[in-house]
Amino acid sequence: MTGKESEQYRREMRNILNLRESSSERGAKLSTLAVKVGASTLSRQHGGHALEPELVDNINDALRTEAMILACKTATRQSKITIIAGIASLVSAAAAWTAILYNLRQVVSGS
């Protein structure tokens, strides 16, 4: 799930909560949304279907978890780029020192 999709799901949840329908109709729509985002539709307390407040919490938890996963993937990608850049700078430094030592050797042997 991307950040845009996550925000779209949050917007959809807010729209559902703002509906003037009965609690059971909102609960059914929230259950459908919970399934879409991978949140639990079961109650932690009694094991049956979760009520509206618990569905909202479960959906928010799923979206926060997805945001953390996305942040970790981004951090991993940045770390790989940093490691590659570090290796490239070491190779560049080694090439520069090799050139310096070669030129120094040419100057010493030429005098």
pLDDT digits (tens, 9 = 90+) for 45-87: 777 888 888 999 999 999 999 999 999 999 999 999 999 999 9
pLDDT over 90 for what percent of the chain?
65
Report yes or no: 59 and 30 within 8 Å, Cβ to Cβ.
yes
Q: Which residue has the tokens 């569905």?
A: 55
The mean predicted confidence, pLDDT, of the chain is 90
Q: Which of 7, 11, 22 is nearest to 52 (CA)?
A: 22
Report yes or no: 61 and 39 within 8 Å, Cβ to Cβ.
yes
Burial group, residue 9, by CB count within 10 angstroms (0-12, 13-18, 19+): buried
| Domain segments of the chain as ranges | 3-85
Query: What gap in Å lies between CA 1 and CA 6, rounded to an integer?
Result: 7
Residue 84 neighbours by CB distance under 10 Å: 10
Under the banding of pLDDT at 50, 70 and 90, the label for residue 14 is: very high
Under the banding of pLDDT at 50, 70 and 90, the label for residue 2 is: confident
Task: Look up the pTM and report it.
Answer: 0.70
Report yes or no: 26 and 17 within 8 Å, Cβ to Cβ.
yes
